[in-house]
């Protein structure tokens, strides 16, 4: 098993995991949608997403952890109407500071100027989904293998091959005959023109344009060079 690499600001990572003992983590459309909703809630503040795929018992993500200055402060609870807040501000209690959120531009009160922690946000995502899924299915206990796996991407070639690998995962595992047939991946979003939070233009930059992106995905590549690093 590989040593755990900490998530560092400004670097790109392949993040992946599976259900404990290979148990299913998605059983219906509602599960996939809930995971993506929670993903947007927890991960959007700390990472740009380049590619993803969700399969029945595992998932793959390709993300760039934002630079520290890009990550917003954690909003403090709205304490303006609570007794004692004024005293705290004046009398040495927990420091409350007004800051402008760099993402939304909204001025918020933050407690002690703390920012979202990328590794913690991923853990929050997996814990939140596990709680939802356990309630949904009536199961108990841990859902994911821990700790979640992560590999730093250190070359453009590896980036391109990994995007290809992620999008071909449903075909590799027999869930679809063609990548166009699987709706729970980023492939259809990248070739679309619809608005998205996915970093579409950044991904296409590695392939020059949409046409080359599609052509790259139609080829056959020997994926053994990266499969040794994967959980499968």
- Count of helix runs (H) and strand runs (E) in the chain: 8, 7
Q: What is the mean pLDDT of residues 175-202?
A: 96
Do 76 and 111 touch, CB atoms closer than 8 A? yes
Mean pLDDT (the chain) is: 86
Note the helical H segments in the chain.
Answer: 29-43, 85-91, 118-137, 156-172, 187-190, 200-205, 210-218, 224-227
- In this prediction, residue 80 has a pLDDT band, given cuts at 50, 70 and 90, of very low
pTM for the predicted model, two decimal places: 0.83
What is the pLDDT at residue 58? 96
DSSP character for 12? E
What is the pLDDT at residue 81? 42
- In this prediction, residue 152 has a pLDDT band, given cuts at 50, 70 and 90, of very high
Do 20 and 145 touch, CB atoms closer than 8 A? yes
Do 62 and 52 touch, CB atoms closer than 8 A? yes
Which domains does the chain possess? Answer: 12-68+117-227 (3.30.70.1290), 72-115 (no CATH)
Cα 4 from Cα 78, distance rounded (Å): 37
User: Which tops the pLDDT comparison, 105 or 59?
Assistant: 59
Element (H, E) at 149: strand 149-152
| All residues at 6 or more sequence positions from 17 whose CB lies less than 8 Å from its CB, including other chains | 58, 59, 126, 144, 145, 148, 149, 231
Q: What is the mean pLDDT of residues 168-191?
A: 95
| All residues at 6 or more sequence positions from 144 whose CB lies less than 8 Å from its CB, including other chains | 17, 18, 19, 20, 25, 126, 130
Range with the poorest average pLDDT among 104-113, 119-128, 147-156, 194-203: 104-113
Q: Is the pLDDT of residue 142 over 70?
A: yes
What is the pLDDT at residue 207? 97
Residue 150's Cα: distance from chain center in Å? 11
Percent of the chain residues past pLDDT 70, beyond the cut = 78
């Amino acid at each position: 098993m590989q040593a755990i690499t900490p998530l560092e600001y400004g670097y790109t990572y392949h993040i992946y995991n599976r259900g404990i003992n290979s148990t299913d983590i998605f059983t219906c459309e509602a599960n996939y949608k809930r995971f993506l909703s929670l993903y947007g809630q927890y991960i959007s503040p700390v990472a740009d997403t380049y590619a993803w795929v969700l399969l029945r018992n595992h998932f793959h993500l390709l993300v760039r952890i934002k630079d520290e200055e890009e990550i917003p402060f954690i909003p403090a609870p709205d304490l303006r109407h609570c007794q004692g807040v004024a005293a705290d501000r004046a009398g040495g209690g927990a420091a409350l500071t007004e800051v402008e959120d760099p993402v939304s531009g909204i001025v918020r009160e933050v407690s002690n100027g703390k920012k979202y922690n990328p590794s913690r946000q991923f853990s929050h995502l997996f814990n939140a989904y596990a709680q939802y899924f356990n309630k949904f299915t009536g199961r108990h206990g841990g859902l994911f293998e821990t700790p979640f796996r992560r590999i730093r991407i250190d070359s453009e070639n590896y980036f391109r091959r990994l995007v290809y690998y992620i999008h071909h995962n449903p075909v590799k595992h027999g869930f679809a005959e063609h990548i166009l047939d699987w709706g729970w991946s980023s492939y259809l979003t990248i070739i679309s023109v619809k608005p998205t939070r996915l970093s579409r233009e950044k991904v296409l930059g590695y392939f020059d344009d949409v046409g080359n992106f599609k052509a790259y995905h139609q080829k056959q590549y020997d994926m053994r060079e990266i499969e040794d690093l994967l959980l499968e």
